[in-house]
Amino acid sequence: MDTSQLLKGVLDLAVLAVLREEDGYGYDVLRRLRASGLDEVADASVYGTLRRLYKADLLTSYVVPSEEGPHRKYYRVSESGRVRLEESCRTWRTFAKTMDQLLSAS
């Protein structure tokens, strides 16, 4: 199965989950996703997802000066982002349970 297709459907949820407890900048989010086991996630996909979630008011951002290189734009889950994350978690758990049942029947 092509996991890149699965990632497209759950990347919003994964990014919100990664940022739930700790703010992060683009590369940091990418690194944390990969460390969690999403090795195939592409850089451009994560940066695009961050921009899209920000435009949808699911994330807020702020800039932190850096002594090494350019300033970093950090992202934080907004209140509406936390609501979306809760809703998406419920949807995911229901979907995953259904798939587990289907696959166990095989």
How confident is the model over 46-86, as pLDDT tens digits? 999 999 999 999 999 999 998 888 899 999 999 999 999 99
CA pair distance 43, 4, nearest whole angstrom: 13
28, two tokens: 């940091």
Written as one string, the DSSP assignment of the chain is --HHHHHHHHHHHHHHHHHTTS-EEHHHHHHHHHHTT-TT--HHHHHHHHHHHHHTTSEEEEEE--SSSS-EEEEEE-HHHHHHHHHHHHHHHHHHHHHHHHHHT-
pLDDT digits (tens, 9 = 90+) for 10-52: 999 999 999 999 999 999 999 999 999 999 899 999 999 999 9
Can you give the pTM of this predicted structure? Answer: 0.89
